[in-house]
Structure 1
């Protein structure tokens, strides 16, 4: 709360606009919800410049917004989405409807879990890897969920936020879904992601996700709240 309070005051002093940015995102099972963020851009930015995308030198980003984005502080209000049961601390990052509408049948499996503030794709390249790779990492996470894995992701997410890594794409601009396939600026190779080390005697079982497995009775990872697993 002290960090949120200080950031909110800085946003208000900077340009006098609203503190929060609200945007509809797609949650678990395709249900829409309103995601909260600290506003880092000028008011009405979705209809100007890069639209839903953002760039490192985007003129729409405010002075305070650049600092908040680099440290990922702008994501903190999503803790209220977690308390409302719309998000989890860990899970695939929520995307907008226009992107979900372009998912393949396999990629729709990403919606089996509650979206998270931090995710496996975010700690394995974030915006510097292409969407196909990001979604594959998210599907791997859903099929291999464990509390230990969530703790690994939370720790690595903290390190990523401190380093300010992966906030934008390799060319300085976040990419829309499908727009970076085959481009040299995206790290889509297998090396872009990694799996946590397992102790000897604890083999990893990876069940490949087929296109029709969204309704096969498998349980998505539980939502992780501040007091434990729910």
Structure 2
């Protein structure tokens, strides 16, 4: 049922937000010359997939967790995109493709071994990663792997349609700080 809702909402959202998507794409051409960012992430059952986001850092920035990147690595437009969470908009394509859900644990990088270990112990990889979830609305990022995995696990165990929409609405209306930059 959640997959059906994911697909419907992602398609609707992509169509309705297409003008914003195109505007941000053109803005990104002027900002970095390459507006979309593609990165391999850990998906359901630890299967790799390519995450799509709007680029918020210059080309050739080191591929590490966001909380390990200094604020000087983010472009001026990138700061706005991250603060408003608009950098996540292309992930609707990941949801449509079936790589992600709208709600689920945020996908980590393969080099985040501590996050992977904690999530393995709690069966977090049994579901599709999401654009938002309980940890995100509580502003818990991947700098605290144990707490993150615990919250992800609790969210998975208690997720129902009502909580699914709750997490989405909380995200839309500003809960969570997006990706933190030191």
Runs of 4+ residues over 6 Å off in structure 1: none
Q: Identify the residue that residue 219 of structure 1 maps to in structure 2.
A: none
Cα–Cα, structure 1 residues 11 and 104, in superposed 2: closer, same or farther, change >3 Å? closer
Q: Identify the residue that residue 69 of structure 1 maps to in structure 2.
A: 82
Q: Identify the residue that residue 177 of structure 2 maps to in structure 1.
A: 165
What pairs up with 1:1-230 in 2 under 5 angstroms?
1-15=18-32, 17-46=33-62, 51-54=64-67, 58-100=71-113, 102-104=116-118, 107-127=121-141, 130-160=144-174, 165=177, 167-168=179-180, 173=182
Q: Identify the residue that residue 10 of structure 2 maps to in structure 1.
A: none
Cα–Cα, structure 1 residues 92 and 21, in superposed 2: closer, same or farther, change >3 Å? same
Q: Identify the residue that residue 6 of structure 2 maps to in structure 1.
A: none
Instruction: Give the deviation of 1:55 after TM superposition.
Output: 6.6
CA contact (8 A) 1:93 1:116 kept: yes
Bigger radius of gyration: 1
CA contact (8 A) 2:65 2:112 kept: no
Q: TM-score, length-normalised on structure 1?
A: 0.65
Higher helix share: 2
Q: How many residues align?
A: 164
Instruction: Give the deviation of 1:38 after TM superposition.
Output: 0.3
CA contact (8 A) 1:19 1:39 kept: yes
Per-residue CA deviation, residues 14-69 of structure 1 (Å, 9 max, x unaligned), is 24x1111000001101100000000010000016xxx4435786222112111101
Q: TM-score, length-normalised on structure 2?
A: 0.80
Cα root mean square deviation, aligned: 2.3
* Distance in structure 2 (CA, Å) of the matches to 1:114 and 1:2: 28
CA contact (8 A) 1:126 1:166 kept: no
Cα–Cα, structure 1 residues 60 and 143, in superposed 2: closer, same or farther, change >3 Å? same
- Unaligned stretches of 5+ in structure 2? 1-17
Cα–Cα, structure 1 residues 61 and 129, in superposed 2: closer, same or farther, change >3 Å? closer
Instruction: Give the deviation of 1:100 after TM superposition.
Output: 4.4
